[in-house]
Amino acid sequence: MARDIGIDLGTANVLINVSGKGIVLNEPSVVAVNTSTNKVVAVGTEAYKMVGRTPGNIRVIRPLKNGVIADFDITEAMLSYFIEKLNVKGFMSKPNILICAPTGVTSIEQKAIIQAAEKSGGGKVYLDFEPKVAAVGAGLDIFKPQGNIVIDIGGGTTDIAVLSMGEIVTSQSLRYAGDHMNQAVVSYIKNKHNLLIGSRTAEQIKIEIGSAFEPDKDQTITVRGRDVVDGLPKQATVSAPEIQEALHDGLMTIIAATKDVLEKTPPELSADIIDRGIMLTGGGAMLKNLDKLISYYLKVPVLTADHPLEAVALGTGILLKNIEKHQRH
């Protein structure tokens, strides 16, 4: 008997949940390819270690951009590698797969995601939307006739959705999320400190001293990179308020989009949201004080899921249990 598997196919990370076992895989969505032979050299964590450090004939590819498949063959190779690594295929049987996509994907993109999962060894493949699955994973009961709102901030997309009775009532998908935050840090440090850094370094800075609201004025970090002017290695000291400034405009776009979604929400559901608050999920939800920033501008309580990065993958596990009941092909 093959075990059913749920896949959070993220721009930054792939998480896989196997029924009865929980989350068994969490690796970066990165593949290293040898351009001379077109062979895959490394996938996931191994490939991520090579980002920004490869010789000319090795290309490190992120096959997903903004939550959708940018490179079909590489996505399929990556999924096949992960699924084989888990060894979940039973003798003569194929696992059911539930895979998640951002709310803004087109029907062509949806087909591509389903096809990649089928080709990588799945039996029946179901597709559901990330904010819905994230809400379930964060512990919200979305099948009741009451309003819940989720902001799911991934690597490539931020999905904002109001849910009731198991369906999305109103939603918006933004192409601004964790990767774009890292990019904002890269640009800011280049302009302010004449220092070139890579996206991995930017992510590290964001994790260590990043804050969305009321940053600690005394918190600093030493950043190493390349001098823009003379090209030599150099280091600079960057403070938490600077990183907050770098991230501010982007975070305000998430707040503006959430406001739009709330304005389109039926009044009865809005009343529920004032009581229940906004739930933050996804890796981007781990940015310090993001809940305070959103609450400050929208005047609604904001909660962060207990395991924001794993919310979608946890949700797939719960939904797979009653997939026949809530299925959408």
What proportions of the chain, in percent to the nearest 5, are helix, strand and coil? 40, 30, 35
Residue carrying structure tokens 């039926």: 266
Q: Is 76 helix (H, G, I), strand (E, B) or coil?
A: helix
153: nearest Cα among 290, 289, 319: 290
For 183, phi then psi, to 5°, come to -60, -40
Q: Is 204 annotated as a binding residue?
A: yes
Q: Is 12 annotated as a binding residue?
A: yes
All residues at 6 or more sequence positions from 209 whose CB lies less than 8 Å from its CB, including other chains: 215, 216, 219, 220, 221, 238, 239, 240, 243
Q: Is 155 annotated as a binding residue?
A: yes
Q: Is 203 annotated as a binding residue?
A: yes
Question: Could you tell me the two tokens for 228?
Answer: 């823009």
Inter-CA distances, 216 with 18, 212, 252, Å: 40, 11, 20
Question: Could you tell me the two tokens for 125?
Answer: 């493949």
Q: Is 13 annotated as a binding residue?
A: yes
All residues at 6 or more sequence positions from 73 whose CB lies less than 8 Å from its CB, including other chains: none
Q: Is 310 annotated as a binding residue?
A: no
DSSP letters of 141-184?
Answer: -TTSSS-EEEEEE-SS-EEEEEEETTEEEEEEEES-SHHHHHHH
**CA atoms of 186 and 226, how far apart (whole Å):** 12
Burial class (CB in 10 A: 0-12, 13-18, 19+), 278: buried
Q: Summarize the annotated binding site as residue ranges.
A: 11-13, 155-157, 203-206
Q: Summarize the annotated binding site for ATP as residue ranges.
A: 11-13, 155-157, 203-206
